[in-house]
Structure 1
Amino acid sequence: MKKILSYLIPAVILIGIFGGIAYKLKKNKAIVEDRVYHYSPSELPTHKSDTNLVAESSTDGLLFTGTFEPYRETKISAETQGKINQITVDAGSVVTKGQTLVRLDNALLQLQMKAVDIQIEGLTADVNRYSILAKADAVQGVQLEKAQMGLKSAQVQRATIQEQINKTAIHTPFSGVVYSKLSEVGGFAAPGVPLLHILDIGQLRFTINVPEGDLKYFKLGQTHEIIADAFPHKKLKGKVSLIASKANVGNSFPVQLTVNNFSDNTLRAGMFGKIDIANKN
């Protein structure tokens, strides 16, 4: 009997423990289900008209905003390599077409030019002397021809050196303003290495993005009034110079207008402006 009880008591205890665990789990599940939100179609809110979310068309006209860009810009570099001896401008300097901006060291080229000049001087004297002797049949004509060929070769060599010397002086290709200075005196210039960044803002390009439905308001050569945000009381006239043949990523077509800057060039590249077109339905 004692042996039976020794097996029965632990079994009862285990059954009680597992029963308690099962009861606790069931109770926790009921609590969790009560806390979970259950979807009911009857609880859906009634939607109001969403017409207020659509941008309203202006009754006065169509407004296109855009940005002013330089008419021309370039990064100037040297055509030949050499040490920079002089930079005549700085960032913000106003420059005119043909103005010398940078000078490179050309001392070695100047020495080569002097040597060629001496050579040309001697060959010229030879040609003159052989010409006189050839007329008197004192020398063969081939000697005169050799002297003449040598003179022509020296002259070509001189022109080549002169061209190299000319390239050590770097000039601005158009009038404008120095946007940035990218090198300093003592630096080394080489082809393809930018030295100065030049902008032409005497004229500007004003670019706007136009939806396809509004392209009818823009024709090549057509003039539109532009208002710069920074100078709202000054009027500008822009002439349409480009209408893109392909839409951009926003499915709009870039339209570009050319506009003359104010007399003091106060309108800067990167400024914003707008075109207000009267609505013609």
Structure 2
Amino acid sequence: MKKLIYILSVCAIVALIVVVLILNKKSTAEKTRMVMEASTEVAVKMIAVTDTAYSMGFTSNGVLQALRDLQFMSDVSGRVIGVYADEGSRVGKGKVLVQLDNEMLRADVVSSEAAYNGLKKDYERFKNANVQGGVSDQQLDNIRTQMIAAESRLITSKKHLADASIKSPITGSIYRRYVEVGSYVNLGAKLFDIIDDSQLKAMCFATEKQRLNLTVGQSVTVKSETFPDKIFQGEITFISDKADRSLNFPIEVTLTGDKQDLKSGMFVTVLFNIGAMKNGILIPRNAIVGSVQAANVFVVKNGTAKKQKVVAGDMVGEQIEILQGLQPADSVIVAGLINVTDGVKVKNIQ
């Protein structure tokens, strides 16, 4: 009897242990399943899309250019006997910059002038004699032809003499000199680089959509990193009718008012259409998957990421305009995209 009780007790204990092990196994399996499900969810950051009002203004970078930047070439040849301007000199239009040796040219002018004056007197005598019948019409025409040719040579000689005093064609500043006293300059030789910075302009670029809102004469704001606390004013003076290879249209902006210490070659940022407003959807640029021309985003529905094709518009600061493909209240992934694929489970982190 005692032996039977002992056997039953052992069996009960074993059965209890088996039940406990089975329950523990189920609990462990459930926990493992939950951990596995949690581990398959990709951590991302999402935002809710909203329809907001934003400025249609945009910025474009450019480099300031002078009104005129001239490479001044010589249109005569000769020995340099004087240079009257140096790098940094401010010169006016017509100021003599270089003097070439003109001794032979002056002698040629004197000779040409004497020949012309002599023929002119002969022509007057022949003319009077022709009236009295002492000189034929043919003789008069011959002397007149000689006089005209002599006058032409005199004019040419005077022009060559004047050209020996090389003058500045514009008002501006010399920023590079290539000629020295004693050197010989040939026709077409570079003499100076002259810049007229009385006006400054910047060549910027706009997309085809941005160009639609621009007109010649429109006021713009110009900023420079060199003078971060100053704002300069300008206006659009040229809008190209043809896009470049990157499908952007060149826009010329000329500074108006006081340009202060701005110089040609400085980097500037031009702000267009600052006051115009528009309603639409904006998302961060880093939410775009692929290029702007073939843009996609990941929209989250019921915890699952779905790849959605969108039509992107213009950049607005660090954000990009979405023209088609998103609706207000859509949840869009903006961070953590490196591990996201179409159909993957995701969870939002703040």
How does the TM-score come out when normalised to structure 2?
Answer: 0.58
Cα 1:65–1:139 change in 2 (3 A) is closer
**What is the CA-CA distance between 1:220 and the residue it aligns to?**
2.0
Pairs within 5 Å for 1:128-139: 128-139=124-135
Aligned to 1:151: 147
Give the secondary structure class of the aligned counterpart of 1:134.
Answer: helix
Aligned to 2:98: 102
> How many angstroms apart in 2 are the aligned matches of 1:253 and 1:268?
24
**1:246 Cα offset (Å):** 4.0
2:187 corresponds to:
191
Which of 255, 258, 261 is the matching residue for 1:266? 261
CA positional deviation for 1:90: 0.9
Contact 1:77 1:190 in 2 (8 A): no
1:223 pairs with 2:193:
no
Query: In the TM superposition, what is the alpha-carbon distance from 1:224 to its structure 2 partner?
Result: 0.8
Counterpart residue number, 2:250: 254
**AA aligned opposite 1:102:** V
Contact preservation (8 Å) 1:96, 1:175: yes
Evaluate the alpha carbon distance shift between residue 66 and residue 127 of structure 1 in structure 2; reply closer, same or farther with a 3 A threshold: closer
Q: Which residue of 2 aligns with 1:241?
A: 237
State the number of aligned residues: 234
Q: Look up the match of 1:62.
A: 58
Counterpart amino acid of residue 277 in structure 2: K
Pick closer, same or farther for the CA change 1:247–1:130 going to 2, 3 Å.
closer
Residues 117-136 of structure 1 mapped to structure 2, 5 A cutoff:
117-136=113-132
Please, what is the CA RMSD of the aligned residues?
3.1
Aligned 8 A contact 1:181 1:195 in 2: yes
Alpha-carbon distance in 2 for matches of 1:186, 1:47: 79
Q: Relative to 1, partners in 2 of residues 1:160 and 1:231: Cα closer, same or farther, differing over 3 Å? A: same
Structure 1 alignment gaps of length 5 or more: 1-43, 53-58
SS in 1 for 2:277: coil
Query: Do structure 1's residue 167 and structure 2's residue 163 form an aligned pair?
Result: yes
Q: CA deviation at 1:154?
A: 0.8
1:275 counterpart letter in structure 2:
V
Higher strand share: 2
Deviation at 1:97, TM superposition (A): 2.0
Cα gap change, 1:156 to 1:184, in 2 (>3 Å): same
- For residues 44-64 of structure 1, give each alpha carbon's deviation from its aligned partner in whole angstroms, at most 9, with x where no partner exists: 997654889xxxxxx675333
2:75 is matched with which residue? Answer: 79
**1:195 CA displacement:** 0.6
What secondary structure sits across from 1:270 in the alignment?
A: coil
Q: How far does residue 171 in structure 1 lie from its aligned partner after superposition?
A: 2.3
Identity of aligned residues (%): 24
- Distance in 1, matches of 2:118 and 2:83, equals 38
Check the 8 A contact 2:76/2:188 in 1, yes or no: no
What displacement does 1:279 show? 6.1
Alignment of 1:114 with 2:100, yes or no, is no
